[in-house]
């Protein structure tokens, strides 16, 4: 077995121009490099990234996380078999010593974990999606959930809802799904632009619409779908929405601030249920706050048999929170973000537990991304069935979409398609 002989780390910049951690793991037979993403709409229950504070980069520097890799994590990793992902990841987490990886920083720990996965693929001369795959092998190309319009923390806009996405459920192949999304996005740009200037673009490449409520955004999306020659329908071009409700929820008053209106839990549930009834929605992400377990349960009873209820902030790629959600029946799908979990192994554990429970996993990028395409390979390796990367814009997004195009040419796993959606 090929042992790890060296680990290095340094500070680079992500898609928002903020510092992040890049790690390289070396073996005698190959090296692997991984760059850690970061979120804007981060949940309270995520693994904790480490930032330097102070004046440099507005406090967002990561020199301390880089030092943690070099000083504390390299000695743990060196000498271990690079193909023992689980063993290395557990040793890294043990060295940190906290459940949320807050001592050394989840960005330090995940940096090493991801670089180990890539080094293992290089050392064994296999593509990453094969190296990461459990027996009997990698799965299908995932159905993409593609951002078209953005608000919330991803955009400087009056629209509190974070993302409005399309799901090309009528596509029979992955390349066809991308062609559909390209046409819809182009049509949306024409609708939102003024003829001379394109519309503003948010963190994940979605356009920022000049609207303040969700219904207007859904109608804009429906118009763009029709302009592109498709039908806004559950079996042609369906919709998805990332509400990110935690970020406009007032816990003291227990109210959700939708524009100029603050509504209680019941009214918020009514609002989401009306969207499910009025539009071809197949996935609703974070429709209620991250600790509003009662509200999630009530919403699941009401619409959980008709739509994918996707937990992000609620579940935070955390196995304990996922277990509680499965037991309570409060959702039927989980967003899987490796940097929420802190290691590749922890992320896979959540993904596999979701599949065992009959839930749908959705592998996801973050708003602060890099051109690292590891999550594309992870989604195929574990047969996740769905992926959420962002819009068809910006190189950090396209690196992952293009990686899936490459895998599609070399893998015979097929395309997951609409069958991957819950329920």
Backbone angles phi, psi at 302, to 5 degrees: -85, -45
Domain-wise residue ranges, the chain: 4-125, 143-420
Catalytic residue among 46, 337, 396, 400: 337
User: Does the annotation place 366 within a ligand binding site?
Assistant: yes
Domain 4-125 matches domain 143-420 at the CATH topology level: no
Contact 76, 4 (CB under 8 A): no
**Whole-angstrom distance, CA of residue 366 vs CA of residue 370:** 9
204 is catalytic: yes
User: Does the annotation place 308 within a ligand binding site?
Assistant: no
Which is the CATH superfamily of the domain at 143-420?
Enolase-like C-terminal domain (3.20.20.120)
**Whole-angstrom distance, CA of residue 177 vs CA of residue 351:** 23
Helix (H) or strand (E) holding 301: helix 293-303
**Rounded (5°) CA angle 401-407-409:** 110
User: Does the annotation place 72 within a ligand binding site?
Assistant: no
pTM for the whole structure: 0.95
Would you state the CATH architecture of domain 4-125?
Answer: 2-Layer Sandwich (3.30)
Class of residue 89 by CB neighbours under 10 A (exposed 0-12, middle 13-18, buried 19+): buried
**Whole-angstrom distance, CA of residue 324 vs CA of residue 100:** 18
**Whole-angstrom distance, CA of residue 49 vs CA of residue 99:** 13
Helix (H) or strand (E) holding 325: helix 319-328
Class of residue 94 by CB neighbours under 10 A (exposed 0-12, middle 13-18, buried 19+): exposed
**Whole-angstrom distance, CA of residue 305 vs CA of residue 220:** 27
Plot region of 43 (φ>0 → left; ψ -120 to 50 → alpha; else → beta): beta
Residue 372: name the closest of 347, 348, 394, 400 by CA.
400
Question: Pairing relation of β-strands 360-364 and 261-263?
Answer: unpaired
Backbone angles phi, psi at 167, to 5 degrees: -125, 110
> What are the mean pLDDT values of the chain's consecutive 10-residue runs (423 residues total)?
94 96 98 92 85 97 98 98 98 97 97 98 97 89 97 72 96 98 97 82 91 92 98 98 94 87 94 97 97 96 97 96 97 97 97 97 95 98 98 97 97 95 96
pLDDT of residue 105: 97
User: Does the annotation place 298 within a ligand binding site?
Assistant: no
Contact 408, 129 (CB under 8 A): no
User: Does the annotation place 355 within a ligand binding site?
Assistant: no
Helices 214-227 and 265-278, interaxial angle, to 10°? 10
Backbone angles phi, psi at 170, to 5 degrees: -85, -10
The three-state secondary structure class of 349 is helix
* Residues in CB range of 153: below 8 A, 6 or more apart: 40, 41, 162, 244, 247, 367
Catalytic residue among 46, 49, 74, 204: 204
Question: Pairing relation of β-strands 255-258 and 249-250?
Answer: antiparallel
pLDDT of residue 211: 87
End-to-end Cα, the chain, rounded Å: 42
190 is catalytic: no
Tokens of 380: 């195929």
Supply the DSSP symbol for 247: G
Farthest-apart Cα atoms in the chain, separation: 61
Beta bridge partner(s), residue 361:
334
**Whole-angstrom distance, CA of residue 6 vs CA of residue 78:** 6
* Residues in CB range of 189: below 8 A, 6 or more apart: 198, 199, 207
**Whole-angstrom distance, CA of residue 382 vs CA of residue 323:** 19
User: Does the annotation place 367 within a ligand binding site?
Assistant: yes
Q: Where are the alpha helices (DSSP H) in 124-207?
A: 128-131, 174-192
Residue 107: name the closest of 41, 40, 21, 33 by CA.
21
């Amino acid at each position: 077995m090929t042992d790890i002989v060296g680990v290095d780390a340094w500070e680079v910049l992500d898609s928002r121009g903020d510092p992040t951690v890049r790690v390289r793991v070396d073996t005698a037979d190959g090296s692997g490099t991984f760059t850690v993403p970061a979120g804007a709409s981060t949940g309270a229950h995520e693994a904790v990234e480490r930032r330097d504070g102070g004046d440099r980069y507005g406090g967002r520097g990561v020199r301390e996380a880089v030092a943690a890799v070099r000083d504390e994590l390299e000695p743990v990793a060196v000498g271990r078999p690079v193909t023992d992902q689980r063993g290395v990841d557990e040793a890294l987490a043990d060295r940190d010593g906290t459940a949320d990886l807050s001592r050394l920083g989840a960005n330090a720990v995940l940096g090493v974990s991801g670089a180990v996965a890539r080094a293992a693929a290089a050392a064994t001369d296999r593509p990453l999606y094969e190296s990461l795959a459990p027996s009997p092998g990698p799965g299908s190309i995932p159905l993409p959930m593609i951002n078209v319009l953005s608000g919330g923390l991803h955009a400087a806009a009056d629209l509190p809802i974070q993302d409005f996405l399309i799901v090309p459920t009528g596509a029979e192949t992955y390349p066809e799904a991308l062609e559909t999304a390209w046409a819809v996005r182009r049509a949306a740009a024409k609708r939102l632009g003024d003829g001379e200037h394109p519309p503003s673009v948010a963190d994940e490449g979605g356009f920022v619409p000049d609207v303040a409520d969700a219904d207007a955004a859904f109608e804009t999306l429906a118009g763009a779908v029709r302009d592109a020659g498709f039908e806004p329908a559950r079996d042609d071009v369906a919709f998805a929405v990332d509400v990110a409700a935690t970020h406009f929820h007032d816990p003291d008053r227990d109210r959700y601030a939708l524009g100029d209106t603050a509504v209680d839990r019941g009214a918020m549930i009514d609002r989401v249920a009306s969207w499910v009834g009025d539009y071809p929605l197949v996935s609703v992400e974070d429709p209620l706050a991250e600790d509003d377990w009662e509200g999630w349960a009530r919403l699941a009873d009401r619409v959980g048999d008709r739509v994918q209820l996707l937990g992000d902030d609620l579940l935070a790629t955390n196995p304990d929170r996922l277990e509680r959600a499965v037991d309570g029946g409060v959702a039927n799908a989980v967003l899987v973000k490796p940097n929420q979990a802190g290691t590749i192994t922890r992320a896979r554990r959540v993904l596999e537990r979701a599949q065992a429970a009959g839930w749908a996993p959705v592998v996801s990028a973050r708003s602060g991304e890099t051109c690292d395409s590891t999550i594309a390979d992870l989604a195929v390796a574990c047969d996740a069935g769905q992926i959420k990367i962002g819009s068809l814009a910006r190189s950090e997004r396209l690196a992952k979409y293009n990686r899936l195009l490459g895998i599609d040419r070399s893998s015979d796993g097929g395309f997951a398609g609409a069958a991957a959606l819950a329920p």
